[in-house]
Amino acid sequence: MALKAVHVSDVPNLDHVPENASLSLYSTRLSKGVEMNRAATFKMPKFMVAGHRGNGMNVLQSTDGRMKEIKENSIMSFNSAAKHPIDFIEFDVQVTKDDCPVIFHDTFILSEDNGTIFEKRVTELCLSEFLCFGPQKEGRAGKSLLRKTKEGKILEWNVENDDSLCTLQDAFQQVEPSLGFNIELKFDDHIVYQQDYLIRVLQAILQVVFDHGKDRPVFFSSFQPDAALLVRKMQSTFPVYFLTNGGTEIFYDVRRNSLEEAIKVCLEGGLQGIVSEVKGVFRNPGAVNKIKDANLSLLTYGKLNNVSEAVYMQHLMGIDGVIVDLVQEITEAVSDLIKPSEMGEAESLAEGDGEMEVKSKPQFSQMELSFLLKLIPELIQL
């Protein structure tokens, strides 16, 4: 059912109004723990690991088979990630023209028909049109699904384990219920959105979350600063994070161009934290203390988060968590390197074929850590 767009001042706090709003959360700083239910308390782990688009994004041109193992942003990918000791999955939500929140990363969906390639904007499709692409739930073949790389090359979207496209409601109903959702509110970087449109989209998403969330941990994030501020104004139940490239890319909207600007957005809008491209943090490590001083949580994303040493360095820097593609590898590294130290252990003992295997972790003095923080920005200038 279509939801009527209204002015933001007329929008009630959805967590106070709907009779069927079954999820009762309280928004606090993630680094201090988040109370997820009136009857029971869920504590955000001291160092969070989230699966990027589920079990990892697809890079079709990659020679690394792990980047083409499972269709990204699919129920199969989400439940595959849930098999590992992971806290959240991150995925992208857009809203179709008939007001249904669907999970898909790219702005345009590409297909081929009789040798002709065409593309359609996801938000200009109705739900039935969107679901026609890729493999179908009934086992029959759907419309072909292609993908355009950043370089403009168009490739068939071939993965080892394919799955059908899905809606946000599907995810709530079919994904392991203990797995938290980081819902990225996806918008086109090249469009200036009117407030009424943003409100309509956010209302549609919030309605599904309140109707089907139950006790699942949820937080929102968005690169679109106005959308992040609006979803925070429209409800006080779920934490909202501002996504930023941290200055690694420059945009017309200056709010997107540095970690310092991201802090301003969060403080002005009452947001709970920042999700930054990890290179932005490594190039500007001094911003971490500024973010902490502002009582904000800090998470990161990016290719460097698939390197266990980079993840461990972030743990030492006081970053609260990472979004990763190589879920199995990084969760294992976090278990080996980070979790033991949080329990006050110097070593982690793992049982192997009748023997005890000692897994050591790096040890840095304060002076060594200071040196590394000064060195890293120079190493990653690209």
User: Domains plus CATH for the chain?
Assistant: 8-106+167-345 (3.20.20.190)
- Provide the pLDDT for residue 138: 77
The alpha carbon of residue 84 and the mean position of all alpha carbons in its chain are separated, in whole angstroms, by 17
Q: Name the CA dihedral angle for 73, 79, 82, 83, rounded to a multiple of 10 degrees.
A: -130
- Is the per-residue pLDDT at 18 higher than 50? no
Q: 0.75 cut: is pTM over it?
A: yes
Average pLDDT over residues 91-99: 98
- pLDDT tens digit string along 49-87? 999 999 999 999 999 999 999 999 999 999 999 999 999
Instruction: Select the more confidently predicted residue: 172 or 7.
Output: 172
- Which of 76-90, 258-272, 297-311, 330-344 has the lowest average pLDDT? 330-344
Residue 20 phi, psi (nearest 5)? -100, 15
CA dist 121 → 111, 130, 188, 208 (Å) = 12, 10, 10, 22
DSSP state of 354: S
8 A C-beta contact, residue 364 and residue 372: yes
- Is the per-residue pLDDT at 363 higher than 90? no
Nearest-angstrom CA–CA distance, 223 and 251? 11
Residue 68 phi, psi (nearest 5)? -135, 25
Residue from 213, 184, 170 nearest 93 by CA: 184
- Which of 9-18, 102-111, 204-213 has the lowest average pLDDT? 9-18
Tokens of 58: 């697809």
- Is the per-residue pLDDT at 285 higher than 70? yes
At residue 164 the predicted structure's pLDDT band, cuts being 50, 70 and 90, is: very high
- Is the per-residue pLDDT at 227 higher than 50? yes
Residue from 67, 145, 75, 73 nearest 110 by CA: 145
SS3 105: coil
Alpha-helical segments (H) within 107-194: 127-130, 168-174
- Which of 21-35, 124-138, 179-193 has the lowest average pLDDT? 21-35
- Provide the pLDDT for residue 141: 84
Nearest-angstrom CA–CA distance, 189 and 255? 13
Assign residue 50 a region (left: φ > 0; alpha: ψ between -120 and 50; beta: otherwise): beta
Nearest-angstrom CA–CA distance, 181 and 54? 10
- CB-count exposure of residue 230 (10 Å: 0-12, 13-18, 19+): buried
Greatest distance between any 2 Cα atoms in the chain: 66
- CB-count exposure of residue 50 (10 Å: 0-12, 13-18, 19+): buried
Partnered with residue 102 across adjacent β-strands are 94, 167
At residue 15 the predicted structure's pLDDT band, cuts being 50, 70 and 90, is: very low
Residue from 6, 10, 20, 48 nearest 207 by CA: 20
Tokens of 237: 């139940």
Residue from 284, 245, 309, 247 nearest 378 by CA: 284
- Rounded to a whole number of angstroms, the CA Rg of the chain reads 21
DSSP state of 274: E
Other beta carbons within 10 angstroms of residue 25's beta carbon come to: 24
- pLDDT tens digit string along 237-247? 999 999 999 99
Other beta carbons within 10 angstroms of residue 214's beta carbon come to: 12
Average pLDDT over residues 222-244: 97
> Amino acid letter at 370?
S
